[in-house]
Structure 1
Amino acid sequence: MPSSPSRPSSPSSRSSSSSASARKRLLISVAVAVAAVTLGIVSWQATAPEERPDRSSSPSAAAAPKGSDVHAELAKLARREAGDKLAVGRADAPVVLIEYSDFKCGYCGKFARDTEPELVKKYVEDGTLRIEWRNFPIFGADSQSAAKAAWAAGQQDRFAQFHAAAYADGAKEKGFGRERLLELAREAGVPDLERFEKDMAGDAAVAALQKDQEEGYRIGVTSTPSFLVNGQPVAGAQPLGAFEATIARAKAQAKAEPQAADGRAAK
């Protein structure tokens, strides 16, 4: 028997599908907008590219939205790529800290020297934490050059060493011109300096930098350093204890979510 000709979808079904799609787009837009408000608040020990009034104690800062749906959207920014050259820690770690930073930012350097090594020692080494760096240069040509150099060092598995050298106390005051970047690459132990220069000046470095920047601007990053810990925004080089508390909460929540899912499945 010949099959019946397919009928075009009815206006009501098309309308229903269109409405569902529109609602989904609206929810995503709202989540990103709320994230922008949350991360756009310049808080204690964060450096902006130009002078801005301190809003950390303003009513708008105190009333920043904190919806779990927003944090869930932001948590999806964790790339968890096993071969990520600008990351340290297990790809399946329960907590991911995303760091948006600039090599000319003084507070970024403070975090890199004082806090980050402690987080690596305490949480990365035991598998709890993964740190993913995002180059977010906001202080002009030197910032851009240093970011591309860090990426280029990463292509030879020396990003962490370059990161440490570029954030050493007093390093940023020496600038990030070509000769200085080569000096930092040598200090970081980059084996092939000719390749380093080629990578630094190549299109791939520009594309990687643009990807990080666009991600940060899309969610409202306006100052450095800025962080996401499993989607929870943290602005500024806050004390070690603040990060420890945030990581502990994120770990507990990550552990509770599979248990809650198992409980629902058992019913």
Structure 2
Amino acid sequence: MSALSPETMPTDPPPSASPSREAELERRVRRWRLTSLVLAVVTAFLAVVVAGQLSGPPAAPTAPPEAGDTATRDTAPEATASGAVPDLARRVDGDPMAVGAVDAPVVLIEWFDYRCPFCAAHAVRTLPLIVDEYVDAGLVRIEYHDVVFFGDDSLAAAVAGRAAAAQGRFHEFVEVLFAAAPSSGHPDMPRERLVGFAEQAGVPDIATFTADLDDPALHEAVVTSTRAAQRLGITSVPFFVAGGSALAGAQPVETFRLLLDEKVAAAAR
């Protein structure tokens, strides 16, 4: 999920380079990309703080290049983006887009797009283990931020998620939607499919849910969430922050355990 442009990318090694030399260059490039990403996230946030209202209104959210999503294909530990980032936890009691105790020692924040296959993979494979081992134990709270990175259907799905949240079924809706996600690509989200997900998730008032799909306030809330993510320099999903460190991509549960164990221990000191 590097923010580098093709013009600033390191060039390939010359054809005459030895295999060992090529491997070393590749390792250096990988480290350089990681460092650049961390600096980009922190710098973007500081720029927003310093600029304040001088920057004017943000532009409407637009989808990033597909590479922003496919960059999360590399789930090796070296793909993790770790660095100092600000405390973005909401810690609002009764927040429908959060799970876990409001006073849990650590808050794990996730940015996700409903049409992102890697967000789905995380939700299906890794999230249940995190909830079982950390959230249910009172150690971690998870707070979600929806973003629109893959077009109008992503916006429609995010509005639907908020409509389900208004009836206390956000987590169930997300679980049903991601369980039906393909292993690759960005699935279509027509209205009838979103209503079907709501029915499966047990949303009690489907008529109200359907009407809320056209609620301008919910649309604007999703747009605002996306703009905030863009200001932070987040250009691909899933993306996570916990205790001042960032984690990029659908990482294996072991990687989350290392991060969360460290943050829980630090909070206890």
Q: Same fold (TM over 0.5)?
A: yes
What aligned pairs does 1:1-267 form with structure 2 within 5 A after superposition? 32-33=42-43, 49-51=65-67, 66=83, 70-71=84-85, 74-75=86-87, 77-170=88-181, 175-256=188-269
Distance of 2:41 and 2:188 partners within structure 1: 38
Indicate conservation of the 8 Å contact 1:49/1:139, yes or no.
no
SS at match of 2:236: coil
CA offsets, 1:112-165, max 9 Å, x none? 000001101111111101011110120001111001100100000000110001
SS at match of 2:179: coil
Using the TM superposition, give the Cα deviation of residue 170 of structure 1 relative to its aligned residue in structure 2, in angstroms.
Answer: 3.6
Distance of 2:127 and 2:141 partners within structure 1: 12
Answer with 161-170 or 120-129: which moved more: 161-170
Distance of 1:221 and 1:250 partners within structure 2: 22
Using the TM superposition, give the Cα deviation of residue 231 of structure 1 relative to its aligned residue in structure 2, in angstroms.
Answer: 2.5
Indicate conservation of the 8 Å contact 1:98/1:228, yes or no.
yes
Bigger Rg, structure 1 or 2: 1
Distance of 2:179 and 2:254 partners within structure 1: 22
Distance of 1:232 and 1:192 partners within structure 2: 39
Supply the RMSD in Å over aligned alpha carbons.
Answer: 2.9
Distance of 1:56 and 1:113 partners within structure 2: 16
CA offsets, 1:162-203, max 9 Å, x none? 000110144687521010111000000001011112222112
Distance of 2:46 and 2:234 partners within structure 1: 7
SS at match of 2:121: helix
SS at match of 2:110: strand
Indicate conservation of the 8 Å contact 1:153/1:190, yes or no.
yes
Could you tell me the TM-score, scaled by structure 2's length?
0.70
Distance of 1:122 and 1:55 partners within structure 2: 24
Residue identity (%):
38
Distance of 1:91 and 1:65 partners within structure 2: 25
Which amino acid is 1:51 matched to? A
Using the TM superposition, give the Cα deviation of residue 218 of structure 1 relative to its aligned residue in structure 2, in angstroms.
Answer: 1.4
Using the TM superposition, give the Cα deviation of residue 34 of structure 1 relative to its aligned residue in structure 2, in angstroms.
Answer: 6.0
SS at match of 1:196: helix
Distance of 1:227 and 1:114 partners within structure 2: 16
CA 1:89 to 1:54, structure 2 compared with 1: closer, same or farther past 3 Å? closer
Using the TM superposition, give the Cα deviation of residue 215 of structure 1 relative to its aligned residue in structure 2, in angstroms.
Answer: 2.0
Distance of 2:193 and 2:174 partners within structure 1: 14
Indicate conservation of the 8 Å contact 2:100/2:135, yes or no.
yes
Distance of 2:100 and 2:73 partners within structure 1: 32
Could you tell me the TM-score, scaled by structure 1's length?
0.70
Unaligned runs of 5+ in 2: 1-39, 48-63
Indicate conservation of the 8 Å contact 1:34/1:65, yes or no.
no
